[in-house]
């Protein structure tokens, strides 16, 4: 039975991350957004506390907290995914771009953990034990293949002890600064998902270069890069899982399993932004209105705040359920998509409503409501990346109707 009572470790992490977000992240948020990056001294300080923020992304045997992050639930089960969701919400309450910019394996971590051999995990996670700032990244999206993962066109051809990769990846978080990137390619586009292969492409690989750095509407402090592979020679040892693991459809399934873990986290991040906007509007109303007065407009404002709170709470429960299932190794593709689809929309609603509740000043970037402007710009992408809201609804409907032959 699902139990959402936080254990002592999770409560401590929640409190610590919220304090850090309030005291260290919020004060630099607007400046980082304006400057399109985080101060080096801030990143260095965060790196010193990396285990507090990676929350299970790096296995314990490779210098991280691994499956032990967040402690155990009352029945002794893992809780790393749920703990990561709790921490991600609190950090994004401070600034979502910070979460995306934290040193660590990022979205590249889950496929290396789930698909990589022990030797590969030791090599690639070992990077994060070295001094200095290190990042990993995840390269799946292409100019013509984003939510439709099966449509990727980056090719891979075996050449002796190497694979030759050609193609372009786009919108890759931390792509330019990453020590390595998990790149998905295909041996034959006609095979669809069965042709997919996953490689770890390291910085400095011949034929692998950085393209343009994107200028974005939101999450400006986070780096988003184009990656170009032109006859890139990748050692055969960097094919995740080795060739034998691709005799079935594990290449594509590896990508999908990654989404089943990361989509709830994206939902949690969206909730953090939505909650920040909600609390800003709530505090504004408390300061400027006496809602107990019998004024129709005041009743309408109170109801708007109530709607925001209801949707955010429902979204959080969906996220926690999906993360709880992931911690137990339960199939959660439908639940992960539900969490991501609903949380993104709930948070967008929260940001729009917060601006309207605060009135004209709420839409003025230079006013006391400057954060509302930033959150409004930041939140939209949470209904797009990790699979658009439309794709999530397709995933959900397919699993609901999987027993119907005509579907």
275 strand-pairing partners: none
Q: How far apart are CA 300 and CA 67, in angstroms?
A: 46
- Non-local (6+) Cβ contacts of 105 within 8 A are 54, 57, 58, 112, 124, 125, 128, 135, 136
| 122 catalytically annotated | no
Burial class (CB in 10 A: 0-12, 13-18, 19+), 236: middle
φ, ψ for residue 229, nearest 5 deg: -120, 115
The answer to whether residues 183 and 199 touch, using CB atoms and an 8 Å cutoff, is: yes
DSSP assignment of 210-261: EEEEPP-SS-TTS-EEEEEEEEEEEEGGGBTT-GGGGSSSHHHHHHHHHHHH
Question: CB 67: neighbour CB atoms within 10 A?
Answer: 16
Burial class (CB in 10 A: 0-12, 13-18, 19+), 400: exposed
- Non-local (6+) Cβ contacts of 390 within 8 A are 147
Q: How far is CA 242 from CA 141, 237, 398, in A?
A: 23, 7, 31
Q: How far is CA 58 from CA 52, 63, 261, in A?
A: 11, 7, 14
Query: Judging by DSSP bridges, how do beta strands 136-139 and 208-213 pair with one another?
Result: unpaired
Q: Token pair of 374, please?
A: 């930033």
Secondary structure letter of residue 69 according to DSSP: T
167 strand-pairing partners: 229
Query: Mind telling me the catalytic residues?
Result: 386
């Amino acid at each position: 039975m699902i139990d959402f009572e936080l254990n002592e470790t999770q409560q401590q992490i929640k409190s610590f991350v919220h304090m850090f977000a309030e005291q260290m992240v919020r004060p630099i948020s607007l400046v980082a957004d304006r400057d399109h990056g985080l101060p080096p001294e801030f990143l260095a300080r965060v790196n010193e506390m990396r285990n507090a923020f990676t929350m299970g992304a790096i296995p314990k045997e490779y210098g991280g907290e691994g499956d032990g992050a967040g402690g155990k639930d009352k029945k002794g089960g893992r809780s790393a995914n749920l703990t990561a969701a709790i921490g991600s919400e609190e950090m994004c309450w401070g600034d979502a771009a910070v979460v995306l910019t934290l040193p660590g394996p990022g979205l590249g971590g889950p496929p290396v953990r789930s698909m990589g051999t022990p030797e590969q995990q030791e090599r690639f996670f070992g990077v994060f034990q070295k001094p200095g700032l290190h990042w990993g990244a995840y390269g799946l999206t292409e100019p013509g293949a984003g939510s439709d993962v099966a449509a990727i066109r980056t090719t891979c051809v075996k050449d002796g002890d190497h694979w030759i990769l050609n193609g372009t990846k786009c919108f890759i978080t931390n792509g330019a600064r990453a020590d390595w990137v998990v790149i998905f390619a295909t041996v034959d586009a006609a095979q669809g998902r069965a042709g997919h292969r996953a490689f770890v492409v390291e910085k400095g690989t011949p034929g692998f270069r950085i393209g343009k750095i994107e200028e974005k509407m939101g999450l400006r402090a986070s780096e988003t890069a184009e990656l170009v592979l032109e006859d890139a020679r990748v050692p055969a040892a960097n094919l995740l899982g080795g060739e034998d693991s691709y005799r079935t459809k594990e290449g594509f399934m590896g990508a999908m399993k990654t989404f089943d873990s990361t989509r709830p986290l994206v939902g949690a991040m969206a909730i953090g932004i939505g909650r920040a906007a909600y609390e800003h509007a709530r505090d504004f109303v408390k300061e400027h209105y006496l809602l107990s007065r019998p004024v129709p407009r005041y009743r309408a404002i109170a109801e708007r705040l109530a709607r925001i709170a209801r949707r955010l709470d429902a979204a959080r429960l969906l996220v926690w359920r999906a993360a709880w299932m992931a911690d137990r190794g339960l199939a959660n593709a439908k639940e992960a998509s539900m969490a991501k689809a609903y949380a993104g929309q709930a948070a967008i609603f929260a940001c729009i409503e917060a601006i309207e509740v605060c009135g004209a000043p709420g839409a003025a970037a230079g006013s006391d409501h400057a954060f509302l402007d930033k959150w409004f710009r930041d939140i939209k992408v949470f209904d797009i990346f990790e699979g658009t809201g439309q794709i999530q609804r397709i995933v959900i409907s397919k699993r609901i109707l999987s027993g119907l032959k005509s579907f």
